[in-house]
Amino acid sequence: IVFTSGIKVAMIPLEVTHTALATEEVLTRIRNMSTPFAKMSVDLLSFFKDTYKRVFNFDHPPVHDPCAVAYVIAPEIFKSRLLSVEVVIGDHKCAGQTICDVWKDFSKEKRNVHVAEEMDVGKFWDIMISALEACDKITPFNDFVLKHCRSHCDDEDDNKRKKRKRPVDEPPGDVLA
């Protein structure tokens, strides 16, 4: 329905999102913000690292949804082509798969989707880190962690912290690590 709606549609396929890798360099840039929010961001970006290595043999996990948001914010960092794109429908093992007519020879449909083929990965991460820095300045998360975790953790060493049982609503002390 969306692809045939007549509105401008952009698609950022896996071939492009798989270039937006949360490398150690990227994680270090975020980690260097030295706040609880930055640590949480690094933890979230790293969450799927082992799975991507085991299942897809990626050394670093890619990010997908932020690429689509980046296209809305800065379409100039993408190289894309207007192609005819169809979605496989019906009772088929490929149902839901998108098919892009890159050779312009199988589809009788008009070109309906701007399909990204490349992204300037450096500029993408500059946008992402700039957004994270802006969020870091206004999020109440940093104050919450500093207020609620420091008072419980400052005077405890690592061994005591590991053994201590926290109330359910208390964040873990290692958020500051």
Structure-token pair, residue 149: 């975790």
3-state class (DSSP) for residue 97? coil
Residue spans of alpha helices (H) in the chain: 14-17, 24-31, 36-46, 49-51, 65-73, 121-138, 141-153, 158-163
3-state class (DSSP) for residue 61? coil
Catalytic residue (one of 18, 60, 64, 152): 64
Q: Is 148 a catalytic residue?
A: no
Torsion over CA of 165, 147, 29 and 74, rounded to 10 degrees?
110
Catalytic residue set: 64
